Structure 1
């Protein structure tokens, strides 16, 4: 009696479908010949054992948003540029699927954070794998953000914005604003200001069990909140709460891939380019 077929859901970037189509065909051919099933852009992922994201890191984040709390492992095939989350090259598709089907991989649990507004869930998907950013809405002036952690006053940020980043998101927007690189599974979050008015306000790393509360004042009387890039307009005076979600995102990693080697390859970490 044959074992149950493994089901792979394929999620791609609709804007680059023509680019990904030849590689999707390779995946379909491979899975069909290895007693596995592929679902291309299904309405939901409920029947999937694995989700394959085909695109860059932005596509991977959208796939993670679709997976939500279902605990389905994600595999990222990099059709973009940097590919920090989507780290499988197109040339490695078949060899990687070989290893996935044989169980030769590890699962990394990545922290997710959740946004609440005045104690209620926000209108869009409130969960972020990378970061939640509070940003000024126009180019006129900075905003003022009063921050508390576990009810204790932290600081009143006067800046263009504030980024709350997970370890996964520490190599994204937060890093470009001077935030530290945080190793996954370190149990931390980073609060990074965007263009702060005061030079003595620096990024701070806190335990990921901490509950962050933010109150925003703005001359334009509104501001933006970006949840993994999904933007919402908020009214001044809205109280935001950011906390760790009750679930993690499971990411497939091959056993020979290590986080620090990825830093070296993708971010040129520690490279000395002096002649």
Structure 2
């Protein structure tokens, strides 16, 4: 029985911090996964940047846009950070992704590297659970001109400068004034991002099937400023009222040196990220495992 997927793209870590033994380990793992997928009967290609950084030249390579158009599955070998970057880029093409966890936490790369062969084989045969995750579309406006445009699968974060005091932010939702907050910053998180930075500042966990965003202040001056859950149909506007060297982060993408009067708008992206999970997967299993909840039960 051959793979349900004919053209499979492999993605791995290829940022410059992966060197030495870690680089060799990543190269070996990618090569093992590629050979495994080939044996099942799928054509394997490597994403161009992954191939260049790891020095794997035994397989055809494609650019990200070519993968989106030509492949019917992506295998991401790495941690959640790798998956965030890949997910944003392939979402416009509707390419489904499977995550093999070579990192630490692995909320969205949920196949342990030690178990990839026995877990991946039935998935490639068509036995899997599919879900779609919503994304944020954010823009930075200055003097009525858009100076930055980005998507985020986890969150959009506005931060104070590293050496300055609090930043003051004017917040509107759907054109209605909400509050002017003095804080170290503000997070707009998706349900996927509710287990990331938002969680560390007291934001709630959100099931990924929920249609909402978390709006969570970072160390607010007024302790009654609490996280709030908003509909994902909302358009959020954040204006920099005061504070030096404020910055904005969109998952792993950053824009430094925001200016007084800059506005960051955040709304739902028209694209979603498709994740495939092993048959029987559910979100609560992930939470129990990754957050070390009491696993006793019936």
- Pick from 73, 79, 82: which aligns with 2:105? 82
Q: Is the 8 A contact 1:136 1:218 kept in 2?
A: no
Partner of 1:117 in structure 2?
140
Shift of 1:105: 0.6
Q: 96, 103, 120: which is aligned to 1:73?
A: 96
Q: Distance in 2 between matches of 1:144 and 1:88?
A: 42
SS of residue matched to 1:95: helix
Classify the secondary structure of the residue corresponding to 1:8.
Answer: strand
Cα 1:219–1:69 shift into 2, 3 Å: same
Match of 2:224 in 1: 200
2:47 paired with 1:27? no
CA distance in 2: counterparts of 1:34 and 1:3, whole angstroms: 6
**Residue 102 (str. 1) matches residue 125 (str. 2):** yes
Unaligned runs of 5+ in 2: 48-61
1:181 aligns with 2:205: yes
Distance 2:221 2:3 in 1: 61
Matched, 1:136 2:160: yes
Q: Would you say how many aligned residue pairs link Structure 1 and Structure 2?
A: 269
Deviation at 1:5, TM superposition (A): 6.2
Counterpart Cα distance in 2 of 1:146 and 1:102: 51
Q: Secondary structure at the match of 2:135?
A: strand
1:63-96 CA-to-partner distances (Å, cap 9, x unmatched) read: 1122131110111111111111111111222223
- Contact conserved, 2:188 with 2:213, CA < 8 A, in 1? yes
Q: Is the 8 A contact 2:123 2:279 kept in 1?
A: no
Question: Which residue number in structure 1 is paired with residue 58 of structure 2?
Answer: none
For structure 1, the 5+ residue unaligned runs are none
Q: TM-score, normalised by structure 2?
A: 0.85
Shift of 1:56: 0.9
Q: TM-score normalised to the size of structure 1?
A: 0.92
| Contact 1:144/1:216 (8 A) holds in 2 | yes
Given that 2:4 and 2:126 are in contact with CA atoms closer than 8 Å, whether structure 1 keeps it comes out as no
Shift of 1:271: 6.7
Do the aligned residues in 2 keep the contact of 1:74 with 1:251 (CA within 8 Å)? Answer: yes
Matching residue of 2:278? 254
Match for 1:231 among 240, 251, 254? Answer: 254
